[in-house]
Amino acid sequence: MQWLRFVGNFANLSTPAGLLVVALGRASIRRGPRGLFVAENYRLKFPVAGAFTIGNVIITGARWDDLERRFPQLFEHEEAHSWQYLYCLGLPYYLAYSACMGWSMLRTGDRAAANFFERRAGLIQGGYAQLPTRPLLEGVRSLLHASRRSG
């Protein structure tokens, strides 16, 4: 099934987009296991993440070995995201992921804890905390309060 993900994420343009991001971030890239690429020493400041995946490309600003020592199941977590790109037909993943991140912020105050994609990839494996959800109205109030403070 890895070949399906490999070919599918090239065809849906998510892997080419990942390779472009690697080039823009001047990261070094190598073939990783199970048909994925691993890019290290990514130099751009966005997105804010220990590691992130675009198509079949796992990208980190650090050295992958250092991250894996801290989070032994991180590769499996990021590999799950590569499958999610395939299921979402590539770049529409960004819209769906962003909506889920907003929902997570609303429900928990954290971008990952209630994010469907992060939960399906394994919160703990990705280095995220499992947090309780708060009532919806409380989340709305919290976000409104935070926006007033920052604006």
Residue with tokens 């703990």: 124
Q: Are strands 51-54 and 28-31 parallel, antiparallel or unpaired?
A: unpaired
Q: Are 74 and 126 in contact (CB under 8 A)?
A: yes
Find residue 59's DSSP bridge partners: 39, 52
pLDDT exceeding 90 applies to what percent of the chain? Answer: 85
Q: How far is CA 53 from CA 16, 78, 136, 149, 150, in A?
A: 12, 6, 30, 32, 30
Residue 113 DSSP SS3: coil
Pairing mode, strands 28-31 and 37-40:
antiparallel
pLDDT tens track for 34-92: 999 999 999 998 888 889 999 999 999 999 999 999 999 999 999 999 999 999 999 89
Q: Which two tokens stand for residue 92?
A: 């529409």
pTM of this structure: 0.91
